[in-house]
Structure 1
Amino acid sequence: MMLAWLKNNKYVAMLMVVVRVYLGYQWIVGGWHKLTGGFDATGFLTNAINNPVADKTTNELVYPNFVYFIEHFAMPNVKLFNILIPIGELLVGIGLIVGGLTAAAAFFGLLMNFMFMFAGTLNTNPWLVLLGGIVLIAGTNAGRYGLDYYLIPLLRKTLKFKKLDGGGKMTPTGTAKAH
C-alpha cells in the first residue's frame, strides 16, 4: 500500500520535485567543486586502503572486498576515477533536478554514496542515501513533474515496451503473458 502510494500519488510526485531538486543540487555542487577544483582521488583512495573500516573489537575489516577493489582496481586506475567521479556526480545532479531518467540517477547516486561510506566517509552520505532511496522507490512517479513525463513514454515506445502488467513487470509488445 505504501509503495503504491509512493509510485502513483500525484501529491507524492509534487513532493518528489522538492526532494529531487535538493538532492540534485547536493550532487551538482559536489561534482562542480571536483571538476573546477583539481580533484584527485589518490589521497582518498590511499586513506581508504591504509585506514579501512574495521571492527574495533576484532580489528577485522568490515568491507574486505571493497578494500580489495580499491587497492587492486581503483588505485591502478585512479586517473579514470578522477574523471568518472566528478562527471558522475554532475550527471546524477542534473538528472535529478530536471527529472530525467530520475530512477537511474537516484540509483547511481546511491551507488556512489555507498562507495563513499564503504571507504569510511560519513558526512552527508547517510542523509543522501535516505533521500535517494525514497526517490528510487518512487520510481517514475518521482519524475512525473519533470523530463520523465515526456521521456518515459518515448522510451517505452522506442524500446517497444508496454506499461507495467498486473504483476509489476515490463512486457514486450506483442507478447502474450500467461497468468
Structure 2
Amino acid sequence: MSAKKTILLIVILRFVMGGFWFAHSHDKWEWPQTAELQRRLQRYSENGTGIEQAYVEHFALPNWKALQYLVIFGELAVGLSFLAGIFTRAAAVGGAFMALNFLFAQGSFISSDIIGNPYGPVVITATIVAAYGGGESHWSLSSWLERKKGLRALEGGA
C-alpha cells in the first residue's frame, strides 16, 4: 500500500475512533444521576467467573462512583483527542486501555467473544492508529500548530 493510502486510512480510522469514543461518552453522561455503572458492574459480577469476577468485585464495584466519572471523562477526552488530531498516540493507548478494561469486566477478554464485542475491534484499531502515529501530520490540530506557531509535535516526538 502506498504511503498516501496508508495515511488516508489512518486518518479515517482516527475519525472513526473519535466518533466511537465521543458517542460512547455521550451515552454515559446521565450515569452519575442513575447509578447505571453500579447496576452493570453487579450484573457482570453475577455472571462472571474467575479473575474477571474478582476484578469487578474487589476493584470496580467498591470504586464505582469514582469510576463512572473517570469513564465519562476518559471516553470524552479520547474521542475529542482523536477528532482534533492532538495527542493521538496517547489517546490510542488510553482508548485501548479502557476497552480492555470493559472487555475484562464483561468477561469477554478471556473468551472467544472478544471480536463479537464492540470493544474488541476498538482495541485492534487503537493499536493500529497508535503504531502509525495516529495520522497527526494530516488534518489535525497538531499539524496546524506546527505550521502556524512553529511548534513541534506536542507529544514530545521529533
Shared fold by TM > 0.5? yes
CA RMSD of aligned residues (A): 2.5
In 1: Cα distance, 2:40 partner to 2:70 partner: 15
Match of 1:33 in 2: 27
Unpaired runs of 5+ residues, structure 1, are 55-60, 164-179
Match of 1:176 in 2: none
- Map 1:1-179; keep pairs closer than 5 Å: 9-36=3-30, 38=33, 40-52=36-48, 54=49, 61=50, 64=51, 66-120=52-106, 123-139=117-133, 142-145=135-138, 146-149=140-143, 150=145, 153=152, 155=154, 163=158
Superposed CA offset, 1:134-179 (max 9, x none): 1011125x211112323671547xxxx673xxxxxxxxxxxxxxxx
In 1: Cα distance, 2:59 partner to 2:40 partner: 14
Specify the SS of the correspondent of 1:153.
coil
Match of 1:171 in 2: none
Superposed CA offset, 1:56-76 (max 9, x none): xxxxx2xx1x43332222211
Task: Compute the displacement of 1:118 (Å).
Answer: 1.1
Bigger helix fraction: 2
Percent identity over the alignment is 28
In 1: Cα distance, 2:153 partner to 2:92 partner: 20
1:13–1:143 CA contact under 8 A, matched in 2: no
In 2: Cα distance, 1:162 partner to 1:79 partner: 36
Match of 1:175 in 2: none
After TM superposition, the runs of 4+ consecutive aligned structure 1 residues lying more than 6 A away are none
1:31–1:90 CA contact under 8 A, matched in 2: yes
Report which of the two structures shows the higher radius of gyration computed on alpha carbons. 1
In 1: Cα distance, 2:57 partner to 2:121 partner: 27
Q: Normalising by structure 2, what TM-score?
A: 0.76
In 2: Cα distance, 1:95 partner to 1:115 partner: 20
Specify the SS of the correspondent of 1:76.
coil
**Match for 1:47: what amino acid?**
R
In 2: Cα distance, 1:90 partner to 1:45 partner: 21
Specify the SS of the correspondent of 1:41.
helix
